[in-house]
Structure 1
Amino acid sequence: MGSNNGRRLGITDPISLGGPTEYDVMRTSELEKYLREVNLYESQEEAVSREEVLGRLDQVVKNWVKKISRAKGLNEQLVQEANAKIFTFGSYRLGVHGPGADIDTLCVGPKHATREEDFFGELHQMLSEMTEVSELHPVPDAHVPVMRFKFNGVSIDLLYARLSHWVIPEDLDVSQDSILQNTDERTVRSLNGCRVTDQILRLVPNIQNFRTTLRCMRFWAKRRGVYSNVAGFLGGINWALLVARICQLYPNALPNMLVSRFFRVYTQWRWPNPVMLSAIEEGSLGLQIWDPRRNPKDNYHLMPIITPAYPSMNSSYNVSSSTLRIMKDEFQRGNEICEAMEKSKADWNTLFEPYAFFEAYKNYLQIDISAENADDLRKWKGWVESRLRQLTLKIERHTYNMLQCHPHPGDFSDKSKPFHCSYFMGLQRKGVPVNGGKPFDMRLTVDEFKHSVNLYTLWKPGMEIYVTHVKRRSLPDFVFPGGIRPSRPTKGTLERRQTSELKAPSQAISDATDDGRKRKRVDDGSDACLRNSKGFAGLPSSSGDVQGSPPVSTMSSPSLNSKVDHIDINGLGESSREKTENNYTNGLRNSSIAEVSSQNGDMDRPVKCNSPNKDLSPDTSSSKEAEKLAIEKIMSGPYVAHQASQLELDELEDDLELRNQVKELGGNTQGSSMESSSVNTAVVGAVITSLSGGGSSASLFTNAGLEELEPSELTMPLSNGSPPAPVGQRKPIIRLNFTSLAKATGKST
């Protein structure tokens, strides 16, 4: 009933206590069969092999700590008592890993076993001498230092936590807050993975249902191209937290319903309202926690997903306005397909259809990198990947979000070129110009990105990077499966196919009343819950009652708009997605809702749901409206983040990054001494032509009818700031030469 051993799970009451119907049992069985058919479960042999590797690794670190204890002069009794222990976290600990997946592991050692000298020194040396170990790659300077390697073919990511204990007990419980006492920041961050994973498993009502649902959502996110923390989307821990919250809100539901409600809830979620599994605890150790009321930088997070273990942090700070927009569109698509599935108008194959990234856009940025050998490429690749998100942010900022980027979460290799790989970003202009546009350069944008890449302290000759604009028709063959470019349908065929794709799910939803197979669900009576509730809970905050922020896409900054007026870049108004968000938000604002008092983030007057035997179809408008209001109630909390402009966020991040880089580099500017010829940036100009019309159901084929970017000659920025001569009898255009708008507009940072 929404609790675990008598405890309520989550910071609010559940939305529904309804249990599964025969339909849910059947559809969940189909889902599990589907997940097995697509090879998401490892074999029994591989599972045994992983267990053996973990046992062997645990023995290695125990031998290691005894060896360094003896070398440091500890007496024989302390040497015999010296201990280190291996813990797992991430997908393996959650039980949702697939064949060949990495195992996230943590080595916990005593206070006399240092990170630099002993872990990255002695233990690294021991591992390098073992025949079972291959591809050993230490990354001591990472935000969370890690040692990566393969042990008998099993990929391992090994972190290190140095505790203030002389002896590490075998029954050590890393979930206790006291374990963090007298530890450094890197140890706190290293312990965070294990502590968060354990808390998630404690905070979900049914672990098996959680695992199946998470396995499904991870697979969906990878197929739809939104699984990548480094690219600005969401990583494994983020998806786990989002799924866990849905499990709390529907504690008795099977995975079939949990997947459906995942999309329903997060389609309606008004970011940047945070997703939290438990109340944020202040703690007694004085560690900084996520709190936008006190920490300025927390105000600018666009999609906060808060970790449940102390110290609570936002696990999704990498999300940008472009990647948030893409994920919101994908949530909407998933929601429409799930509703169509409930009417037997779609199936699991429809939901998991791969996103056709290289058909979705007409223009791309291609980032090529190369190195002298495989080891250099691995290091160079890791560094460049960590910086690619900054290119997205800079393009958004320098074009005032008029040019949106869609980074592909992965790299591609041209087999004919050794030690080379490529990354791609889809380009889409937001809005359509009315009276033509003024050329503006983006060379400074690319130069800034190149400068941040040049800060790499381990740069070696041969490490190069190129950035080019490429049309869809000119994409290299190696990005396509098997290196074979698919044949392009004719324009008429493509439009008919897109119209059909857009129409089918919408028809399925509208035809619900005619579907004789409509299912009934034993619900907890969310209608009754709504009638019995006095409305939303207005939670206290340091600055008074916090009202929900409008969606990201509806925000604008007058100061930013005034800066770009003279660029003559005008949109056609709101997209269909933005209109939907505005209509929904306005509807909520116009609702007559009373506030009830609350304390410590908990609802003071929990909603009573006492009608479990009432049959309600989940497709009835009253039930969905009740769910909408329940979701809105969940988002009424003290931690409603300030909706800042992307410009403010980027400038703050740049400032923080610069300080961090100076601190980490310690004045080492080795990378910045590279000649421009060694890091070439080929930039091709482009012209964006206008869109012709748009569909009302664009969420299912987000990029249908995208504007065209045509190659053009490089255009020098106009020194007097005057617009170019008007273009006669042609479609209105915006000229872009991929250089900084800052230079053309005289923007100061």
Structure 2
Amino acid sequence: RVVRLWAQRRGLYSNKAGYLGGISWALLVCFVCQMFPRATVASLVHRFFSVLASWRWPTPILVAQPSANVEAAGSSCAQWDPRHNHHDRAHLMPIITPGFPAVNTAVNVNLSTLQVLREEFARGQRIMDDLRCRGLSSPSSWNQLFTPTEVLVRYDHHLVVELRAPTEEALAEWSSFVASRTRKLVETLQHTPSVASLQPLPGLIRPHESPAAADATADSAVGYYFIGYTVQAPPLPPSPVQRRGGRKNSVRAAPPVSAESSEDLARNCVASATRYFLATELNNATERKAGMQAEITYRAWHDLPSAIFPGGRCAAAGERARYILSQAHHVNLALGLGR
């Protein structure tokens, strides 16, 4: 339950979005419990993060060895076997079920969500290491472990998937379908040259509107999905530089990117992928019924709708500043510049 609460708070509890579902998290906990059968609960939580933060994916997580003899198991069902199935060899985060047939419960994990999971495991390990130094009894450190995800305040650039439906029930149906397709958009964007990293937020965000705004939109239900991302300027074409001895060396350098050009780059590099995604996955979907609408727009952080922040934009700006300072502190600690 501790791990489930942590994963939900950190925005990692979603198989649809490319993270891990309940079965995967249960198998990870079971795996760590097998490794440390006599550990206390607090110690198991610490071991959970320390083991997974250093785990070398795609080495599989196995709580039991898969059956080697398919016929002996009384079934001809195919099971996870990267030695004979090239599709299984492409899995990034194999977490294998102990029963027959053995399957990978984390098949939806992609490059972007795997990187997010690695960062979160490392973050959990840092917090638990600090907590262990205090005897695993500091309430503030435990609270820090369960801090909600900072996706909405961490990234400068966001893709906003705005969904509208005539009723709350229709919005729930429409958003569930869109959530199952958003992973494909992330998988496309992660191969875009200018996109450095991506982090989808799995939960549907409902706007915290004032009574007047709520009355204005009473004829439809609205919800948002967010994908935060960072960009990097593409390198310049190779330029020959004369070296001693008559040899030439190609130098690739990128110019500094201003805030304005960074926003233009972030907007333009995802435009084609979002248009294609809308046309092929949402606009013509048979699950889309009358009154259901979807729109994907680029928003810089300062242009995000104020209604999505529970405490308002001022509170969100404070959270953003604290996050930036905390990241700088971790960098200083890694460089040995802080205590």
Match of 1:366 in 2: 160
- 2:289 is matched with which residue: 453, 457, 460? 460
Indicate yes or no: 2:254 matched with 1:435: yes
CA displacement at 1:306 relative to structure 2: 0.6
Distance 2:102 2:189 in 1: 31
CA displacement at 1:481 relative to structure 2: 1.6
CA displacement at 1:432 relative to structure 2: 8.1
Match of 1:339 in 2: 129
Distance 2:111 2:319 in 1: 33
Change (3 A) 1:400 1:299: farther
Give the structure, 1 or 2, with the largest relative contact order (CA under 8 Å, sep 6 or more): 2
Distance 1:352 1:422 in 2: 23
Deviations 1:506-539 (A, max 9, x none): 5xxxxxxxxxxxxxxxxxxxxxxxxxxxxxxxxx
Tell me if structure 2 keeps the 8 A contact 1:404–1:430.
Answer: no
Change (3 A) 1:370 1:242: same
Change (3 A) 1:497 1:331: closer
Distance 2:195 2:13 in 1: 24
Indicate yes or no: 2:88 matched with 1:298: yes
Q: What amino acid is the match of 1:486?
A: A
Indicate yes or no: 2:223 matched with 1:421: yes
Tell me if structure 2 keeps the 8 A contact 1:367–1:467.
Answer: yes
Indicate yes or no: 2:170 matched with 1:383: no
Match of 1:274 in 2: 60
Tell me if structure 1 keeps the 8 A contact 2:177–2:287.
Answer: no
Match of 1:204 in 2: none
Matching of residues 98-177 of structure 1 within 5 Å: none
Q: What amino acid is the match of 1:403?
A: A
Match of 1:263 in 2: 49
Distance 2:80 2:144 in 1: 38
SS of the residue aligned with 1:310?
coil
- 2:196 is matched with which residue: 399, 403, 406? 403
Distance 1:460 1:259 in 2: 45
Distance 2:80 2:320 in 1: 50
SS of the residue aligned with 2:299?
strand
Distance 2:234 2:119 in 1: 19
Indicate yes or no: 2:265 matched with 1:471: no
Q: What amino acid is the match of 1:313?
A: V
Tell me if structure 1 keeps the 8 A contact 2:194–2:232.
Answer: yes
Distance 1:241 1:431 in 2: 40
Distance 1:447 1:462 in 2: 20
Change (3 A) 1:481 1:489: closer
Q: What amino acid is the match of 2:38?
A: N
Q: What amino acid is the match of 1:462?
A: G
Change (3 A) 1:290 1:494: closer
Q: What amino acid is the match of 1:390?
A: K
Q: What amino acid is the match of 2:23?
A: I
Distance 2:9 2:322 in 1: 25
- Percentage identity across paired residues of the two chains: 34
Deviations 1:152-178 (A, max 9, x none): xxxxxxxxxxxxxxxxxxxxxxxxxxx
RMSD: 2.8
CA displacement at 1:478 relative to structure 2: 2.2
Deviations 1:17-65 (A, max 9, x none): xxxxxxxxxxxxxxxxxxxxxxxxxxxxxxxxxxxxxxxxxxxxxxxxx
Tell me if structure 1 keeps the 8 A contact 2:19–2:113.
Answer: yes
CA displacement at 1:334 relative to structure 2: 1.1
Q: What amino acid is the match of 1:448?
A: Y
CA displacement at 1:430 relative to structure 2: 5.8
CA displacement at 1:402 relative to structure 2: 3.6
Tell me if structure 1 keeps the 8 A contact 2:194–2:233.
Answer: no
Match of 1:448 in 2: 276
Matching of residues 57-72 of structure 1 within 5 Å: none
Match of 2:15 in 1: 229
SS of the residue aligned with 1:218?
helix
SS of the residue aligned with 2:2?
helix
CA displacement at 1:459 relative to structure 2: 2.5
Deviations 1:648-682 (A, max 9, x none): xxxxxxxxxxxxxxxxxxxxxxxxxxxxxxxxxxx
Change (3 A) 1:320 1:481: same
Distance 1:257 1:490 in 2: 30
CA displacement at 1:342 relative to structure 2: 1.6
Q: What amino acid is the match of 2:39?
A: A
Deviations 1:412-456 (A, max 9, x none): 123533322111010113688532499765433113211122352
Match of 2:117 in 1: 327
Distance 1:357 1:246 in 2: 28
Match of 1:392 in 2: 186
Change (3 A) 1:483 1:412: farther
TM-score w.r.t. the length of structure 2 is 0.78
Tell me if structure 1 keeps the 8 A contact 2:153–2:320.
Answer: no
Change (3 A) 1:356 1:264: same
Indicate yes or no: 2:132 matched with 1:315: no
Change (3 A) 1:296 1:243: same
Change (3 A) 1:279 1:429: same
Distance 2:37 2:143 in 1: 26
Deviations 1:284-303 (A, max 9, x none): 21001011111221111111
Change (3 A) 1:696 1:429: farther
| Structure 2: gaps (5+ residues) | 236-252
Match of 1:348 in 2: 142
CA displacement at 1:487 relative to structure 2: 5.8
Distance 2:320 2:162 in 1: 31
Change (3 A) 1:386 1:251: same
Distance 1:266 1:273 in 2: 11
SS of the residue aligned with 1:481?
coil
Tell me if structure 2 keeps the 8 A contact 1:232–1:320.
Answer: yes
Figure out how many residues of one structure are paired with residues of the other and give that number.
Answer: 292
CA displacement at 1:254 relative to structure 2: 1.2
Matching of residues 578-727 of structure 1 within 5 Å: 696=335
CA displacement at 1:219 relative to structure 2: 1.0
Distance 1:454 1:381 in 2: 14
Distance 2:7 2:320 in 1: 29
Deviations 1:262-297 (A, max 9, x none): 111111111011101101113221001011111221
CA displacement at 1:370 relative to structure 2: 1.1
CA displacement at 1:376 relative to structure 2: 2.9
Match of 1:29 in 2: none
Q: What amino acid is the match of 1:355?
A: T
Tell me if structure 2 keeps the 8 A contact 1:395–1:403.
Answer: no
CA displacement at 1:374 relative to structure 2: 3.3
Distance 1:493 1:254 in 2: 33
| Structure 1: gaps (5+ residues) | 1-214, 507-694, 698-749
Change (3 A) 1:271 1:431: farther
- 2:31 is matched with which residue: 245, 266, 285? 245
Distance 1:311 1:273 in 2: 19
Change (3 A) 1:348 1:368: same
